[in-house]
């Protein structure tokens, strides 16, 4: 535990430029997609984060040769000799990520069977996989649950199906895409997730030879093809990381330019940022305007110097306000004058981290009721899923233990905004999704150190 602590001397505005690379929640899926190809794939701008290492390990176990390309952040994946991995080897990855579940379809296509260990990921609710399993069964997969995990087979092959998700789940939509592309016949998926990362995954699959149509009203149609090939792809930038740094600029009264951030994927966030009083400038037209080689744009975010304003918000599926933007932004909302409301409608237990903010001087109360928006799935089910934030509060230093990835970054921002010296335990968890965050903090002038 001692190595896994960061000492944060707070109270200094973060100022400067940092860069975001490919989105964690696309890169890991694009890596899984490589398994479906008959030839090598090349993915650019891959961040050095732990989730990428987990998928790299899983692909490696299944005979995919993964190597670094010539460019920084380039990954080459050669799936020519896909093979079965032993249950013991795969189980080393149990509990470390949610990604293994997405290997089901590709492994069934390539090998005729798959083994999936117990899943991990952030502890932000029960995170069931019932939608995934139901869809796989409808494609023709046979699932055998054992104490160590799930064994899947497809004795009669995988066939296109008419499916409808009870909720537009990101993972279940990806599951269907990765399975349907090589299933025999046509698949129609209703109530699909349409997050930018999903659309980017569809782009990857189309590059591989898939035929996928995105209709209006969350309907996706996939025409199965017998073979897919390798792809070359530069992923969409990480809009969760970009928003996290934007929130850090507000909370610490600083100014951060996030190079690589893209306006189109973040419009909902940018509107909210402005409503709070945050200032922003899109700088991605700089390259075109200046024509300077090597010049790179993004989005610059800064504190207005005047008081921030309270807002009422609810998280939702795309194009709503992302659940992963919620935690860092709540830290900034502790600095806004008035009463802010955050209604979390995607995960039922994603507000636990507010206790730590209260221990630092924030005034946040959580409720079971659906506050500030439309009633959601969690309203009558006893989940503390609405937060009322009264501000502004002067935050003071504290010892904090990081519970999960996004809440962890929120803890870090709170410590940076607070007066005094905080100790943040469990910071290595942040490496799951934030590349080089300590180097980035140093570049922004933060006073942080390892003991
Ligand atoms: N759900 C079910 N059954 C299922 C699948 C999902 O009930 O079989 C429910 C979940 O419990 C949740 C809701 O559906 O209440 C949405 O879950 P979803 O499947 O959309 O989430 P996910 O695919 O597991 C991805 C991201 C999350 C992000 C969500 C929502 C990855 C690896 N993870 O999770 O990212 O919060 O979509 O956008 O892509 C993160 O990056 O920190 C993170 C947690």
Using the predicted structure, report yes or no on whether residue 288 has a pLDDT greater than 70: no
Share of the chain above pLDDT 70, in %: 94
Residue 187 CB–ligand 1 contact under 6 Å: no
364-400 tens-digit pLDDT:
999 999 997 788 999 878 899 999 999 999 999 999 9
What's the CA gap between 50 and 29, in Å, rounded?
14
**Residue with CA at minimum distance from ligand 1 atom 29:** 170
One DSSP character per residue, 312-343 reads EEEB-STTSB-HHHHHHHHHHHTTEEEEEEEE
What's the CA gap between 265 and 31, in Å, rounded?
21
Contact 63, 39 (CB under 8 A): no
- 275 known member of a binding site: no
- 52 known member of a binding site: no
pLDDT the model gives residue 99: 86
pLDDT the model gives residue 27: 98
Residue 167 CB–ligand 1 contact under 6 Å: yes
What's the CA gap between 245 and 234, in Å, rounded?
22
Contact 381, 354 (CB under 8 A): no
One DSSP character per residue, 418-440 reads SBEEEEEETGGGGGGT-TTHHHH
Average the pLDDT over 336-362 and give the result.
Answer: 97
What's the CA gap between 254 and 317, in Å, rounded?
29
Using the predicted structure, report yes or no on whether residue 19 has a pLDDT greater than 70: yes
pLDDT the model gives residue 413: 98
- 346 known member of a binding site: yes
pLDDT the model gives residue 213: 98
**Predicted confidence band of residue 219 (pLDDT cuts 50, 70, 90):** very high
Average the pLDDT over 137-151 and give the result.
Answer: 90
Residue position matching structure tokens 């304003």: 309
Candidate of 54, 58, 127, 353 to mutate for ligand 1, largest count of ligand atoms within 8 Å of Cβ: 127
Q: What is the token pair recorded at 45?
A: 């701008």
Average the pLDDT over 299-307 and give the result.
Answer: 98
Ligand 1 centre to CA of 321 (Å) is 14
Q: Which strand (E) or helix (H) includes residue 405?
A: helix 405-417
Using the predicted structure, report yes or no on whether residue 3 has a pLDDT greater than 90: no
Residue 125 CA, closest ligand 1 atom number: 11
pLDDT the model gives residue 148: 76
**Predicted confidence band of residue 352 (pLDDT cuts 50, 70, 90):** very high
What's the CA gap between 145 and 147, in Å, rounded?
7
| SS3 of residue 350 by DSSP | coil
Contact 362, 333 (CB under 8 A): no
Using the predicted structure, report yes or no on whether residue 65 has a pLDDT greater than 90: yes
Model-level pTM greater than 0.85? yes
Residue 131 CB–ligand 1 contact under 6 Å: yes
Residue 240 CA, closest ligand 1 atom number: 41
Residue 193 CA, closest ligand 1 atom number: 20
Ligand 1 centre to CA of 48 (Å) is 22
pLDDT the model gives residue 373: 77
pLDDT the model gives residue 34: 98
Residue 308, beta-bridge partner list: 336
Residue position matching structure tokens 């209703």: 190
**Predicted confidence band of residue 257 (pLDDT cuts 50, 70, 90):** very high
Residue 122 CB–ligand 1 contact under 6 Å: yes
pLDDT the model gives residue 291: 59
Q: Which strand (E) or helix (H) includes residue 388?
A: strand 386-391
Q: For this structure, is 122 an active site residue?
A: yes
Neighbouring C-beta atoms of residue 127, cutoff 10 Å? 15
pLDDT the model gives residue 120: 57
**Residue with CA at minimum distance from ligand 1 atom 26:** 25
92-114 tens-digit pLDDT:
666 667 888 999 999 999 999 99
**Residue with CA at minimum distance from ligand 1 atom 18:** 169
Residue 169 CB–ligand 1 contact under 6 Å: yes
Residue 381 CB–ligand 1 contact under 6 Å: no
**Residue with CA at minimum distance from ligand 1 atom 23:** 171
Using the predicted structure, report yes or no on whether residue 306 has a pLDDT greater than 70: yes
pLDDT the model gives residue 116: 85
Residue 133 CA, closest ligand 1 atom number: 8
Average model confidence (pLDDT) for the chain? 93
pLDDT the model gives residue 281: 97
pLDDT the model gives residue 98: 80
176-213 tens-digit pLDDT:
999 999 999 999 999 999 999 999 999 999 999 999 99
Residue 29 CB–ligand 1 contact under 6 Å: no
Task: End-to-end CA distance of the chain: give it in Å, rounded.
Answer: 11
Alpha helices in 221-321 (DSSP H): 239-251, 267-276, 286-290
- 98 known member of a binding site: yes
pLDDT the model gives residue 83: 85
Residue 49 CB–ligand 1 contact under 6 Å: no
| SS3 of residue 370 by DSSP | coil
């Amino acid at each position: 535990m001692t190595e896994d602590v960061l000492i944060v001397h707070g109270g200094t505005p973060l100022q400067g430029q940092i860069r975001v690379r490919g989105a964690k929640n696309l890169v890991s899926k694009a890596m899984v997609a490589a398994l479906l190809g008959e030839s090598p794939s090349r993915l650019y701008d891959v961040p050095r984060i732990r989730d990428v290492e987990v998928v790299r390990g899983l692909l490696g176990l299944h005979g995919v040769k993964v190597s670094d390309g010539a460019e920084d952040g380039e990954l080459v994946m050669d799936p020519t000799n896909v093979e079965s991995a032993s249950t013991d080897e795969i189980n080393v990855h149990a509990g470390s990520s949610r990604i293994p579940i997405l290997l089901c379809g590709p492994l069934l296509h390539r090998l005729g069977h798959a083994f999936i260990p117990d899943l991990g990921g952030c502890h932000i609710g029960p995170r069931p996989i019932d939608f995934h399993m139901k869809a796989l069964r409808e494609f023709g997969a046979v699932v055998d649950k054992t104490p160590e995990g799930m064994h899947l087979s497809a004795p009669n092959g995988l066939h296109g199906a008419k499916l409808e998700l009870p909720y537009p789940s990101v993972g279940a939509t990806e599951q269907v895409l990765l399975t349907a592309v090589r299933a025999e016949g046509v698949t129609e998926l209703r109530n699909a997730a349409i997050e930018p990362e999903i659309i980017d995954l569809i782009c990857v699959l189309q590059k591989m030879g898939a035929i996928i149509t995105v209709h209006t009203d969350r309907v996706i149609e996939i025409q199965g093809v017998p073979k897919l090939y390798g792809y070359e792809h530069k992923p969409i930038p990480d809009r969760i990381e970009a928003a996290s740094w934007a929130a850090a600029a507000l909370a610490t009264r600083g100014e951060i330019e996030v190079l690589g951030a893209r306006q189109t994927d973040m419009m909902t966030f940018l509107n909210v940022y402005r409503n709070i009083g945050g200032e922003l400038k899109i700088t991605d037209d700089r390259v075109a305007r200046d024509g300077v080689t090597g010049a790179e744009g993004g989005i610059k975010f800064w504190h207005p110097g005047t008081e921030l304003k309270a807002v009422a918000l609810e998280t939702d599926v795309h194009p709503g306000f992302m659940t992963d933007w919620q935690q860092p932004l709540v830290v900034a909302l502790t600095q806004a004058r008035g009463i802010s409301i955050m209604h979390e409608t995607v995960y039922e237990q994603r507000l636990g981290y507010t206790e730590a903010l209260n221990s630092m001087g924030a005034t946040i109360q959580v409720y079971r009721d659906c506050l500030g928006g439309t009633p959601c799935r969690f309203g009558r089910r006893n989940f503390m899923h609405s937060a009322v934030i009264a501000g502004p509060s002067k935050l003071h230093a504290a010892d904090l233990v990081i519970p999960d990835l996004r809440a962890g970054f929120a803890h870090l921002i709170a410590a940076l905004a607070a007066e005094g010296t905080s100790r943040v335990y469990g910071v290595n968890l942040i490496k799951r999704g934030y590349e080089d965050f300590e180097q980035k903090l140093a570049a922004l002038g933060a006073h942080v150190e390892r003991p």
